[in-house]
Amino acid sequence: MPSLTVRPMAAQDVEAADRIHRLAFGTFFGLAEPAKFRGDAQVIRTRSVTDPDLALVAELDGEVVASGLGMDWGSVFIVGPITVRPDLWSRGIARTLMAAMDELIAARPVTLAALFTHPASTKHIRLYESFGYTTQFLTSVMSKPVEAPKRAVAPHDLYSSLSPAAQTAALAGCRRISKAVYRRLDLGREIQAAAAQGIGETVLLHSDGEIGGFAVCHAGAGSEAGSKRVFVKFAAVRPGAADDFERLLDACEALAAAKGAERIIAGTNAGRRVAYQTMQRRGYRADLNGLAMHRPDQPGYNRPDVLAIDDWR
């Protein structure tokens, strides 16, 4: 193979990386127009801005042909997406990017590395297994039509509406929730990125005088949601607080209605039994099933008592 180089993604690489990302997934899913995968939603741009140190590209003779992204959630590191130009599949480029991603993981205080892949793709599963990842439960990416709220929505705030001092306090409250879900889990980067980039809102649920749950929601074109959609990237309440989980879902759905969205998208792992069943009962239906893979082989926060929503795609 000609000379392959992996390096940090620069601002001028984003357009090429985005094009390859869409083409790769659109081809994988057999779309008639692969380049239109996920419409006007943005994944490469938003994530590369959120944490530029975790955005990589692979160059072949000076041309960008692949990219790899990571998300730092404190003690949890989410790998992906890793995308390679389709005409260069099966040439070891993804493996090279995974090795470079491992170096980034090693430099951070990570106790769980995790990723989302497609259960029918034996090639992808073999690749990730070769890096020490182990298959876990299915993650269901679900959605439902947005309707006007049918009942009173529990008291809540939006992070973007708070003063700087109140935002600092809110981040601390969200960390208390996430650390109850999994030791040192921290969604601070995602909360601040949604506000700074203007791509969404974080819903802050009130419960007994403090934050009882939160939801990082992307909304509209240019976000990870796309036009007329709200995407719940991460949401959680304290383990076992089923009533708060229902109230948080109410607030997310109310936000989607206020944004004029036609559909709300939210995923959860089947290992979180109560969360999964609650969402099904509320009318969420699977659009896509993926496979969670972890390193080391442990459930992480995919436990029956955990009431959380997330999407690692």
pLDDT of residue 187: 98
Give the DSSP H or E segment for 2: none
Give the DSSP H or E segment for 264: strand 263-269
Q: Decide the pairing of beta strands 134-145 and 112-117.
A: unpaired
pLDDT of residue 209: 87
Tell me which architecture the domain covering 4-110 has in CATH: 3-Layer(aba) Sandwich (3.40)
Q: What is the mean pLDDT of residues 241-265?
A: 97
Query: In whole angstroms, how far apart are CA 40 and each of 19, 57, 126, 227, 229?
Result: 12, 22, 31, 7, 11
Do 8 and 53 contact (CB within 8 A), yes or no? Answer: yes
- pLDDT exceeding 70 applies to what percent of the chain? 99
Query: Over the stretch 36-68, which tens digit does the pLDDT of each residue have?
Result: 999 999 999 999 999 999 999 999 999 999 999
Q: What is the mean pLDDT of residues 247-275?
A: 97
Give bridge partners of residue 260 from the DSSP assignment: none
Instruction: Report domain extents, the chain.
Output: 4-110, 143-286+301-310
Query: Coil, strand, or helix at residue 77?
Result: strand
Residue 81: asked if its preceding bond is cis (omega within 30°), the reply is yes
Query: Coil, strand, or helix at residue 285?
Result: strand
Q: What is the mean pLDDT of residues 272-276?
A: 97
Do 290 and 116 contact (CB within 8 A), yes or no? Answer: yes
Is residue 1 scored above 70 in pLDDT?
no
Query: In whole angstroms, how far apart are CA 60 and each of 6, 56, 68, 85?
Result: 9, 13, 15, 11
Query: Over the stretch 60-119, which tens digit does the pLDDT of each residue have?
Result: 999 999 999 999 999 999 999 999 999 999 999 999 999 999 999 999 999 999 999 999
pLDDT of residue 222: 97
Give the position of tokens 């493996």.
95
Q: Does domain 143-286+301-310 have CATH number 3.40.630.30?
A: yes
| Cβ burial, residue 84 (10 Å; 0-12/13-18/19+) | buried
Q: What is the mean pLDDT of residues 171-184?
A: 98
CA distance 12 to 185: 32
pLDDT of residue 208: 86
Q: What is the mean pLDDT of residues 19-43?
A: 97
Q: What is the mean pLDDT of residues 259-275?
A: 97
Q: What is the mean pLDDT of residues 115-142?
A: 97
Query: In whole angstroms, how far apart are CA 313 and each of 199, 224, 233, 288?
Result: 17, 10, 10, 11
84: its two tokens: 């390679």
pLDDT of residue 11: 96
pLDDT averaged over every residue in the chain = 97
Share in percent of the chain as helix, strand, coil (round to 5): 35, 35, 30
Q: What number of other Cβ atoms are within 10 A of residue 179's Cβ?
A: 14
Do 313 and 79 contact (CB within 8 A), yes or no? Answer: no
66: its two tokens: 């692949």
Nearest to 213 by CA among 241, 192, 183: 241
Query: Over the stretch 157-167, which tens digit does the pLDDT of each residue have?
Result: 999 999 999 99
Nearest to 193 by CA among 165, 208, 171: 171
